[in-house]
Chain A
Amino acid sequence: MKVKQVSIFLENRQGRLAAVTMVLGSNDINIRAFSVADTADFGVVRLIVNDPNRACDILRANGFMVTMTDVLAVEVPDKPGGLAYILEILQKARLNIEYLYAFVEKRSDNALVIFRLEDIDTALKVFQENNVCLAPSKEVYQL
């Protein structure tokens, strides 16, 4: 159920994000979802792609600093209070979220949100106990 996310360290200067997307594009890596977190000096780009292992290799070969992280792709009811419902489950279980970001695509009728959690294994269990649907990694990569 864990989804592999590719994270890249980038300096906060012109053209760096474009460089990443160009390298991936020319190697037929398709970006499924992404988020950028930044400070004044640097940023971390997080990507869900169709082939995370190959994407990592390609990026490394092109001189980027890359790391792979396990995240969860959570199906969130696409209606008012949908995300609140999921967050409440995590709060009750006292699980900390490091960050989250949404897919543009939907899975069935639900929005898909990437969760990076402090304790991913406990979170996995808690989500299952509460019947929260998680998208399988293979599907996520091909969305």
Chain B
Amino acid sequence: MWNGEIETLCREHMREIQTKRLKSVVRRCYENVPHYRESLDSHGVSPDDIRSLDDLVKLPFTYKNDLRDHYPFDLFAAPRRDIVRIHASSGTTGKPIAVGYTRADIELWAECVARSLACAGVTSDDIIQIAYGYGLFTGGLGLHYGAEKLGTTVVPISGGNTKRQVMLMRDFGVTALACTPSFAAYMAEEMRDSGFLAEDFKLRIGIFGAEPWSQSMRHEIESKLNLCAVDIYGLTEILGPGVSCECPYQCGLHVFEDHFLPEIIDPDTEELLPEGEIGELVFTTLTKEAAPVIRFRTRDLSRLYYEPCACGRTLVRMERIMGRTDDMLIIRGVNVFPSQVEAVLLSVGDVDPHYQLIADRSARHMDDLEIRVEMSEALFNDEIRKIEDVEVNMRKEIESALGISVKVKLVEPKTLPRSEGKAKRVVDRRDL
């Protein structure tokens, strides 16, 4: 364990730490961020009302929209000169959300990722290949700092270039791989197609996250890559990767709850749900300086377990993400919203677009996104070539808006399902 003292703390002591930190973060938000001050005031809550963890429910939620509305820096609780880094995640209409980190936040992040990697079984003897994208996306740099802190030998290869990934993995004798599960599966195919055997590699641990995946996919990746695959969870709004991570027992993700306080609520009634019940995951950051968030609605569905794990950790465990409460799709680690597609369709001349996003997972375990668009007067032409031009143009525009490759399929009018007048915009056929 990277931080055995915290990771095996008894519940009572953990609650003490959490209570102290919760009081402090609420006060800091109230005093430094106008949005939180207004929000608490309008809910009739004062920082003085927060005396125990049970008072958490008195606090108003923070939504993704709040982060978007205060883009870029208006939710920061630390002065700009103290911010040493900014990450950003994709937004619905081209407008992203920005999250700042102070030096202490970067240190905290590295600590959480070091814990995550250690939890997965990685040690300083390992060589880790980080095949998450480096850049504004939190995946690459997040894993990187944690792995260095742990003392692991880091191969900061970033995403893409599968052949090179496989070559270096073999040449360097890489023992741990961090990337999205779909990319891991894709690399496994690449290895096989290149004539390699699992014995040609020294892989033993896979740390996969940034998109939902199923148990059957885990088993397949494990057998193909001959490693133990664990799930790592995180989101830019809260931190990035390292909010929680599985251990080799693979029975839920250990939440680093001394820094990130989880709750499960009913997404409709917004009531707190008891242990073991499925609902929306809500996080409050307890220690972050630059961009603390109070009761952030993740839209991720999960449940919590408080009994200690066989690995010895007493940290609360969350079930792997079971779905999304809204229409958002996560495709190859990228957030995709139907509204982004709609904006593009309007811009290419479709007056009243009827469309549907269909996510599927191909035989190679890559997430595919097909966008079906109903043919309309504005788009229809008697010539196949011109229709194909429309299709290609649409595809390019959508790809540039979403940042991932998609397939566009034009369909006949009134063929996409509509329920009670409201279109069903998203179909997720992936077995998650």
Binding site for B on A (CB under 8 A): 5, 7, 9-11, 16, 37-39, 41-44, 46, 63-65, 67, 69, 98-99, 116
Contacts and interface: CB of A to CB of B under 8 A. Distances in A.
A39 B388 contact: yes
Contacts of A38: 384
B413 to A, nearest CB: 5
Nearest to B376: A65
A7 B381 CA distance: 8
A42 B381 contact: no
Interface stretch (B231-239, B314-322, B404-412): B404-412
Contacts of B376: 65
B381 A67 contact: yes
Nearest to B414: A63
Contacts of A41: 409-410
Given A41-B409, A42-B410, A44-B387, A116 B415 contact: no
Interface residues of B, number: 17
A11 B411 contact: yes
B410 A116 contact: no
A9 B380 contact: yes
Interface string B66-90: 0000000000000000000000000
B380 A65 contact: yes
B382 A7 contact: yes
Contacts of A98: 383
Interface string B368-402: 00000001110011111001100000000000000
- Looking at chain B's contact residues, the main secondary structure is loop
Contact of A64 (B382, B387, B388, B412): B412
Contact of A44 (B382, B413, B414, B415): B382
Contacts of A16: 412
Nearest to B381: A67
Nearest to A38: B384
A64 B411 CA distance: 11
Given A64-B413, A65-B377, A46 B384 contact: no
Given A42-B387, A44-B387, A65-B375, A10 B382 contact: no
Nearest to A46: B382
Contacts of B414: 63
Contact of A63 (B377, B381, B413): B413
17 contacts: A9-B387, A9-B410, A10-B412, A11-B411, A11-B412, A11-B415, A39-B388, A42-B387, A42-B411, A44-B382, A44-B383, A63-B413, A65-B377, A67-B381, A99-B383, A116-B382, A116-B383
Given A9-B375, A39-B388, A65 B413 contact: yes
A45 B375 CA distance: 14
Given A46-B382, A98-B383, 12 more contacts: A5-B382, A7-B382, A9-B412, A11-B415, A16-B412, A38-B384, A41-B410, A63-B413, A65-B375, A65-B377, A69-B382, A116-B383
B131 to A, nearest CB: 33
Given A11-B415, A41-B410, A67 B384 contact: no
Nearest to B407: A41
* Most chain A CB neighbours (cut-off 10 Å) among B376, B382, B414: B382
Contacts of B380: 9, 65, 67
A46 B382 CA distance: 8
A44 B384 contact: yes
A46 B414 CA distance: 21
Contact of A39 (B382, B384, B415): B384
B168 to A, nearest CB: 37
Nearest to A10: B412
Nearest to A19: B412
A42 B383 CA distance: 12
Nearest to A7: B382
A37 to B, nearest CB: 5
Contacts of B381: 67
